[in-house]
Chains A and B, each alone.
Chain A
Amino acid sequence: MLEFLATLGRSAIGTLQRLGQGSLLLWHMLGGLGDLARRPRLLLVQVFSVGVLSVLIVAVSGIFVGMVLGLQGYNTLSQFGAAQSLGVVVAASLVRELGPVVTALLFAGRAGSALTAEIGLMKATEQLSGLEMMAVDPVKRILTPRFLAGFVSMPLLAALFSALGVIGGYFVGVGLLGVDDGAFWSQMQAKIDLHDDIVNGVIKSLVFGFVCTWIALFQGYAALPTSEGVSRATTRTVVHSSLAVLGLDFILTALMFGA
C-alpha cells in the first residue's frame, strides 16, 4: 500500500516537474518573439514546413469527411423530410467541431511528430549545444519560429478543411443524392452565424495550434538524446496532443455552447 502511494507521489511530482519545465520553455520561446520580428524569413520557412506541407493530408481528409457527412446527414434528415437542411448540418458540424478537431489530430500526427523528431535529433547530434556555444540561443532561434508557425498555420488548415468538407458534402448531397442546390446554400447562409460558429471554431483551432505545437516542441527539447529517447518523445507527442485536443475540445465546447 505504502509502495503504491510512493509510486503515485513520484509520478505526480514527475508530472508537475515536466509541466513546470514545459511552462519555462514556453516563457523562453515567447521571449524570442521580438527577435523573430526582425527575422521574418525564419518564420516563413517554418510556416512552409509546418503548414504548407500539411495541406495535402488536411485537404484530402476534409473532402472525405465532408462526403461522409453529406451521406450520413442525408440518410438521417430525409427520414424527417428535412433533407433540404443538409447544407446547414454539414457546415455546422465542420465549422464548429470536425474542422478544428480533426485538423488538430492530423496536425499532431503529421507536423507535431516531425517537429519533435527534428528538435530531438538536433539535440542528439549536438546541434543545439553547438548553437549555444556559438552564443546563439537555440530556443529563440530554433523553437520560437516553429512555435509561431504552428500557431498561425492551425486555423488556416482548419479553415481549408472545413471549406473542402462543405464542397465534399455538396458534391454528395446535391450532386449525387438530389438535394436542391439553392436550398443547400441558402439555408447554410441563413443559419451559420459568424460569431457563434465561425469565430468559435477559429478560437478552438488557435487553442489547439498553441497546445499541439507547444507539446511537440517541448517533447523534442526534453527528449533523451538517443534514438530510443527521440522515438519515445515522438510517440508521446502524438498521444499527448491527441488527448489534449479532445479534452480541450470538450471544455471549449461547454464554455461556448453549454449555457
Chain B
Amino acid sequence: MDNLVEIRDLRFCRGSKVIFDGIDIDIPRGKITAIMGPSGTGKTTLLKLIGGQLRPHRGSVRVDGQAVHRLPIRELYRLRMRMGMLFQSGALLTDLNVFDNVAYPLREHTGLPESMIRKLVLMKLEAVGLRGARELMPSELSGGMARRVALARAIALDPDMIMYDEPFTGQDPISMGVLVQLIHALNQASRLTSIIVSHDVQETAGIADLIYLISDGRVIGRGAPSDLLQSESAWARQFMQGLPDGPVPFHYPAPPLERDILGGG
C-alpha cells in the first residue's frame, strides 16, 4: 500500500522516561488513521515527531519519502506547508480575528493579492460553517468554534495531510458531531491523509479506516476498528470497550487492603 508517513523503529525519551520504544507505524495515503491510547502515552509527541518539531533518539520518521528529522530547516518548512495541524487548543493567534487567522498562512506563503485571499478565506470558513463569524476575536469563540477556525486555517494551504491532536476532547455532543462530520467530509472531498490522535473510541472508530493502539511506548494493536473491537488482546478489548478493570487494573498498586486497614501502623 502507498504510505504517506512511515515510522520505523522509533525511540524517543524525555529525560529518563522512555516515551516510544521501537515503534513502527505506517500512515496510508488518502485514509483516516487513528492513533489511540491512554492519556500520557505520548500521542501528541508522535505528531510533533512527524511534524519535525521533535527529533527521534533512534529510528526514522519519513513523510512522503523524506526523513523529517534530517531535513535542513528550509526544506522542513517547505514540507510543513504540505502538512496541516489542528492543535488541541486551536492555537489561534489571539491578537488576530477569525478572518486574519485563516488568512495568516496564505499571506505568509502565497503572495496572492488581497482580493484572492479574501475569497479563499471565505471558502475555507464556509467549509467549516463559520463564514458569518469572520469578524470575531478568538476570545469570543467557544471551544468547538475555535477548533473549527483552526481547521479552516489548517486547510488554508490545501495540504496533503492533516494531523488532529485530540479533536474531540472536551466538546459537547453537538460540536463533537460537527467535528466528526467535518473531518470525514474533508477527507472524502479532497483525498486528504488524516491522522487523528485521540482517546475517544466511539467517535474515532466511527470514521477511522485504520487504528493503531499505543501503550507504554509500544504498538499494542493495529487494524480496522471492527477488528480491534473483537481483538484477541485483552488490553485492546478493554480499551476499545472502555471496561473499568482488566489488564489495566482499576487499583493503583498497593499492599493488600486487610494489611493496610487492620495492620495498624
Assess the A135–B80 pair: CB atoms within 8 A: yes
Assess the B87–A130 pair: CB atoms within 8 A: yes
Is residue A133 contacting chain B, with contact meaning CB distance below 8 A? yes
Assess the B80–A125 pair: CB atoms within 8 A: no
Specify which chain B residues have a CB less than 8 angstroms from the CB of A132 in the assembled complex: 51, 53, 80
Which residues of chain A (23-59) have a CB below 8 Å from chain B? none
State the CA gap A127–B150 with chains docked (Å).
Answer: 11
State the CA gap A133–B50 with chains docked (Å).
Answer: 11
CB < 8 Å A-B pair total? 49
Specify which chain A residues have a CB less than 8 angstroms from the CB of B53 in the assembled complex: 129, 132-133
Assess the A125–B77 pair: CB atoms within 8 A: no
In the complex, which residue of chain A has the Cβ closest to the Cβ of B82? A135
Is residue A126 contacting chain B, with contact meaning CB distance below 8 A? yes
Is residue A255 contacting chain B, with contact meaning CB distance below 8 A? no
In the complex, which residue of chain A has the Cβ closest to the Cβ of B84? A133
Specify which chain B residues have a CB less than 8 angstroms from the CB of A122 in the assembled complex: 94
Is residue A239 contacting chain B, with contact meaning CB distance below 8 A? no
Stretch with Cβ within 8 A of A (4 or more), from B60-68, B103-111, B129-137, B183-191: B103-111
Is residue A6 contacting chain B, with contact meaning CB distance below 8 A? no
State the CA gap A202–B3 with chains docked (Å).
Answer: 60
Assess the A136–B94 pair: CB atoms within 8 A: no
Which residues of chain B (79-137) have a CB below 8 Å from chain A? 80-81, 83-85, 87-89, 91-94, 104-105, 108-109
Q: Given A133-B51, A133-B53, A135-B109, are A126 and B89 neighbors across the interface (CB < 8 Å)?
A: yes
Assess the A135–B81 pair: CB atoms within 8 A: yes
In the complex, which residue of chain B has the Cβ closest to the Cβ of A132? B53
Assess the B108–A136 pair: CB atoms within 8 A: yes
Is residue B78 contacting chain A, with contact meaning CB distance below 8 A? yes
In the complex, which residue of chain B has the Cβ closest to the Cβ of A45? B95
Assess the B81–A127 pair: CB atoms within 8 A: no
Is residue A134 contacting chain B, with contact meaning CB distance below 8 A? yes
Assess the B105–A134 pair: CB atoms within 8 A: yes
Specify which chain A residues have a CB less than 8 angstroms from the CB of B150 in the assembled complex: 130
Assess the B94–A135 pair: CB atoms within 8 A: no
> Which of B78, B92, B93, B104 has the most A CB atoms < 10 Å from its CB?
B93
Contact of A130 among B83, B91, B109 (CB under 8 A): B91
State the CA gap A134–B105 with chains docked (Å).
Answer: 6
Contact of A125 among B89, B105, B109 (CB under 8 A): B89
In the complex, which residue of chain A has the Cβ closest to the Cβ of B93? A127
Specify which chain B residues have a CB less than 8 angstroms from the CB of A134 in the assembled complex: 80-81, 104-105, 108, 153
State the CA gap A134–B157 with chains docked (Å).
Answer: 9
For residue A224, give the distance in angstroms from its CB to the closest CB of chain B: 14
For residue B55, give the distance in angstroms from its CB to the closest CB of chain A: 14
Interface residues as binary, A117-151 with B (CB distance below 8 Å gives 1, 0 otherwise): 00000100111011111111100000000000000
Assess the B91–A125 pair: CB atoms within 8 A: yes
For residue B193, give the distance in angstroms from its CB to the closest CB of chain A: 15
For residue A47, give the distance in angstroms from its CB to the closest CB of chain B: 15
Q: Given A133-B53, A134-B80, A135-B80, are A126 and B105 neighbors across the interface (CB < 8 Å)?
A: no
State the CA gap A231–B78 with chains docked (Å).
Answer: 35
Specify which chain A residues have a CB less than 8 angstroms from the CB of B105 in the assembled complex: 134-136
State the CA gap A17–B254 with chains docked (Å).
Answer: 41
Nearest 9 pairs of A and B residues by beta carbon: A130-B91, A126-B91, A135-B80, A135-B77, A133-B85, A126-B87, A134-B105, A135-B81, A127-B91
Which residues of B does A touch, CB under 8 Å?
48, 51, 53, 77-78, 80-81, 83-85, 87-89, 91-94, 104-105, 108-109, 150, 153
CB-defined A-B contacts under 8 Å, sample of 6: A126-B88, A133-B53, A133-B80, A133-B84, A134-B104, A136-B108
Which residues of A does B touch, CB under 8 Å?
122, 125-127, 129-137
